[in-house]
Structure 1
Amino acid sequence: MNIIGNGLLEFINRIFGFISPIFAMFVVEWFLPIRRKGWAKPLLYIGCWFFTGMVIFIGDPVNLPGTLLGFGAVLFLCCEGTWLQRLSITLILSSLGLSSSALVDSNYYLFDIGYLFRFTIWLLVFLALKRFAPKQEYHLPPSLWGLVDVLTLTPFAATLITVLLGDPYGRGNEMQDIILLPLVTLSSIGLLWAVVILARQHKLEQEKSFYQLNLLRYENLEQEQFQVRRLRHDMANHLQTMSSLPDQELREYLGQLLHSPAMGSSYRYSDNSIINAVWGAKQPLMEQMGIETEISVTVPAKLSIDGVDLCAVFANSLDNAIEACERLPVGQRTIKVKARADKGMFVLQVQNPLLEPPKKRNGRFATGKTDLAAHGFGLASIEEIARRYDGSVSITTEDGQFTLFLYLALLE
């Protein structure tokens, strides 16, 4: 009976040994985007299985370095993100996994339930972070990742010192090991939580920056339209003034009027004044660059989308298309725009040809401008607006065409 009980316990332990890597993979995916390769996820599981299942004895100088190097190599190979980002997450997860493994494997009372203990640790980490884990597109500047690395050094060094320089005959029962290793595990979980908080704060700052940029664009557009309406309203006064001017002054006055925004063509492609205003502001530039345009818009005058957001979506989409057309020969420059608001959804599609597939930087399509500090926010701003309206943005680059497709949920 005792043999059967021990065999059953060993079988259950092994089952948990195959499940623990799955939760470890989920945690990795929350902080590092996985490469879109067929081998990436299977290799990541193998790496997590090796990492969560390796026996780590205090005083053993072999298993910990090998596990650390193997796990780090798998993360760097299977995951995307900046070098600092991958290094930070590798150090934090290594401190967490290795300290908890050393605690259970070096403790006589816990050794028999080692896999169950590991499973419990990773399950608790998974549950603690599931609701608040950052989206895969989260980004932190290098300075913040550097700060995370510095904070990680303490628990990481404590794990290395405890395991590599510890007494192999104490078997983890010494008081300092029993206290220190759980503290390292908790500190590592706290560092993961710190990354979550930093990512959320950075996202809020980005959203604030996007909103301020979009608000400025909207205010400038409104001011321009106000000047146009005022000039047209005053046209009768202008005509009366011109009738009494001498020839030379009359020609100068006419020249000033002809170069004013009010004398440009009036574009009306839908009932929505914001879309008309954005298109009207971009149309002269597109004509100047020799860009052929096709536009089909069925959007009512009033939408449940904030005017600033609607302006930003249209303007940024057109700006990206114009930027792409600028790199094409004149005869190949075309922009096609379709927009529709119906059945509780606002849908926008902007399409333009590509000279070559756009490059990505940190998982995002990068701007072609040389001044990266002043450009490259268009798609990020559109994605941020889509999230706020429970919508989505998809981008395809097929058959030499760049297609941006966006939908936003409308309030009934």
Structure 2
Amino acid sequence: MLISLSTFIICFILRSLIVQLTCILLGYKEKNSRIIDIFLISMIALPNVLMLHSQSITSFAAKLAIVFTYYIGNFFLYCIIFRKINFKILYMYLLTINTPQIYANITKQIFSENRFSDLLAFTLEMLVLGGILLYIKTKKYDVFVQNLISVLPKRLYILILALSYIASIFVMGSSRPNHELYIKVLLVPSMVGLIFALFSIIRISVSEAEKSVNINVLSKQIENQIDYYNKINSIYDEFRCFRHDFKNHILCLRSLISAGETERAIEYMNEIEVLSSVEKKKYDTGNIIIDALLNDKSEKAMASNTKLEFSGLVPTTGISNADLCIIIANAVDNAIEACSKDSSGNEKIIHATADFKRGYFFFKTENPIFEMVKIDDKNRIITSKADKSRHGFGVSNIIRVAKKYDGSAEISTDNNIFRLDVNLLLKNETIPQT
């Protein structure tokens, strides 16, 4: 009775740790109340106690019911906890139901065959998982682990699962009496070698994934630079057109005045004024590059029924136009993307403000959000994008530029509003505006 009770308590703690670890690895949240979760985890832990007594049960139907409850029932209980049925939960389940057998066979070899071996196996697994979970939470590696999981190639998931079952078969097969000496000599080194090989494969795969991410980042930076230079060329074209039209207007006015047609000259000037007011851009930031940028972003925002409002001034010295474009373009792009996730059809407004005084530049954006946004303690967004490799690219670039100018970029959410605050120190020397 005491062993059964101890097994139930340890298995309950173990399954609770597995649920918490699943939440971290997959970024899930428990959807039920604490009481319901305690009941569900208890139902998951109970079959472990029944399995201890399955050898004394002679009825085949009873044994089949216990096995069915243990394997199939537990999977659906996990699905109920997370209110999801998908391959990720199935994968975690297949991975976690295999490990107890490995621990059990190891403890049987180390502590010899006795009635406490299964209890020791569950205890060992609980301590290992508890240590991993404590380390992740203490170091606040939740987001790092989620990002690491997201960049692992799919083939590696299959390899990890296959290796765990191969290890289980190896340990189970080696528990035969005639292999006892062989096991005591080679079991632990073999398991250590297997774990080392697995982590080496993971390290190489992560390194390759990071290289892929860096390539994507560099590609995006090149795209931004090309876009920036295209905007400059567009502005130069407008200047050339203006200069050409200006010369023609001056010639016409000079001819009218020389001919004494003063009234017609005044009418002509009024027509020019009306024409210029029609062609006047929606934004006047004091920086023609940013004016063009905001006009371009405003057109894109209109596609999702979003209005881009701007107030304030943007400097023309102390910071390069390229860096200004990185900050403002990424901030506005993120805001537009957030607004595009609204399916109500209502108008959304993005508020952007800028100012510079006493050698500092201040830029701020506010936009509505229509899904939960997580921000970790390192000022990083946990993205909802399917393409995880480009996660947080915009914000990370803004932070990079802010640090370049001894400044900072802070992000926050409140009442379904996302806020970005950028403060940076303008440089005294003239920045080449290429």
Alpha-carbon separation, structure 1, partners of 2:306 and 2:248: 35
Aligned counterpart in structure 1 of residue 218 of structure 2, from 208, 223, 242? 208
Match of 1:337 among 332, 341, 351: 351
Is residue 138 from structure 1 mapped to residue 133 from structure 2 by the alignment? no
Q: Aligned residue for 2:110?
A: 107
Q: Is the 8 A contact 1:95 1:188 kept in 2?
A: no
Question: What is the aligned residue count?
Answer: 370
In the other structure, the counterpart of 1:312 is: 329
- Once residues 157 and 105 of structure 1 are traced to their aligned partners in structure 2, the CA distance between those partners, rounded to angstroms, is 18
1:274-296 CA-to-partner distances (Å, cap 9, x unmatched) read 54332223446778998766433
Q: SS of 2:333's equivalent?
A: helix
Give secondary structure in 1 for the equivalent of 2:365.
strand
Q: Could you tell me how far 1:316 is from its partner in structure 2?
A: 1.1
- Matched residue SS, 1:306: helix
Question: Per the alignment, do residues 303 and 80 of structure 1 end up closer, same or farther by CA in structure 2, a change over 3 Å counting?
Answer: farther
Residue 138 of structure 1 aligns to a residue whose secondary structure is helix
1:22-55, CA deviations, whole angstroms, 9 ceiling, x for partnerless residues? 76566544421022624489849948x959x989
Provide, for residues 117-163 of structure 1, a one-character-per-residue CA deviation record: whole Å limited to 9, x for no partner.
Answer: 44553466458875877536638789x64311332243123134235
Backbone CA RMSD of aligned residues: 6.1
TM-score (norm 1): 0.59
Amino acid of the residue matched to residue 111 of structure 2? Y
The 8 Å contact of residues 349 and 404 in structure 1, kept in 2 or not, is answered as: yes
Q: Work out whether 1:32 is the aligned partner of 2:32.
A: no
Residues 1:284 and 1:141: Cα distance change in structure 2 (over 3 Å): closer
Matching residue of 2:128? 121
Offset at 1:208?
3.3
- The alpha carbon displacement at 1:232 in A equals 3.4
Aligned equivalent of 2:159: 151
Question: Kindly tell me: are residues 288 and 178 of structure 1, through their superposed partners in 2, closer, same or farther at Cα, counting changes over 3 Å?
Answer: closer
Q: Residue 339 of structure 2 contacts residue 368 of structure 2 at CA under 8 Å; is this kept in 1?
A: no
Alpha-carbon distance in structure 2 between the residues aligned to 1:84 and 1:26 = 18
Give the CA deviation at 1:17. Answer: 8.0
Q: Distance in 2 between matches of 1:277 and 1:41?
A: 57
Report the Cα distance in structure 2 between the residues aligned to 1:65 and 1:182, rounded to whole angstroms. 33
What does residue 263 of structure 2 align with?
Answer: none
Match of 2:419 among 400, 405, 412: 405
Q: 1:382 aligns with which of 389, 394, 407?
A: 394
Shift of 1:378: 9.9
Give the Cα–Cα distance (whole angstroms) in 2 for the partners of residues 82 and 273 of structure 1. 53
Query: Counterparts of 1:345 and 1:153 in 2: how far apart (Å)?
Result: 51
C-alpha separation in 2, matches of 1:287 and 1:117? 59
% identical equivalent positions: 12
- Give the distance between the partners of 1:140 and 1:200, measured in 2 at CA: 12
Q: Which has the higher contact order (CA 8 A, sep 6+)?
A: 1
Q: Give 1:20-99 correspondences, 5 Å limit.
A: 27-35=21-29, 37-39=31-33, 43=37, 46=41, 50=45, 78=81, 83=86, 85-90=88-93, 98-99=101-102
**Structure-1 separation of matches of 2:246 and 2:97:** 77
Q: Partners in 2 of 1:201 and 1:90 — Cα distance?
A: 31
* Structure 2 residue aligned with 1:227: 237
**Does the CA contact (< 8 Å) of 1:41 and 1:78 recur in 2?**
no
Paired residue type of 1:307: L
> For residues 344 and 294 of structure 2, what CA distance do their matches in structure 1 show?
21
TM-score scaled by length of structure 2 = 0.57
Correspondence for 2:367? 350
In the other structure, the counterpart of 1:253 is: none
* Contact persistence 2:313–2:355 (CA under 8 A): yes
**CA contact under 8 A between 1:274 and 1:310: conserved in structure 2?**
no
1:277 aligns with 2:287: no
Name the CA distance, whole Å, in 1 between partners of 2:70 and 2:210.
Answer: 31
Q: Confirm or deny: 8 A CA contact 1:392 1:406 kept in the other structure.
A: yes
Q: Are the aligned partners of 1:64 and 1:98 in contact in 2 as well (CA < 8 Å)? A: no
Secondary structure of 2:159's match? helix
1:397 deviates by: 8.3
Kindly tell me: are residues 208 and 392 of structure 1, through their superposed partners in 2, closer, same or farther at Cα, counting changes over 3 Å?
Answer: farther
Q: 1:98 to 1:154 in 2, by over 3 A?
A: same
Contact 2:8 2:49 in 1 (8 A): no
- Aligned match of 1:295: 310
Structure 1 residue 103 displacement after superposition: 1.6
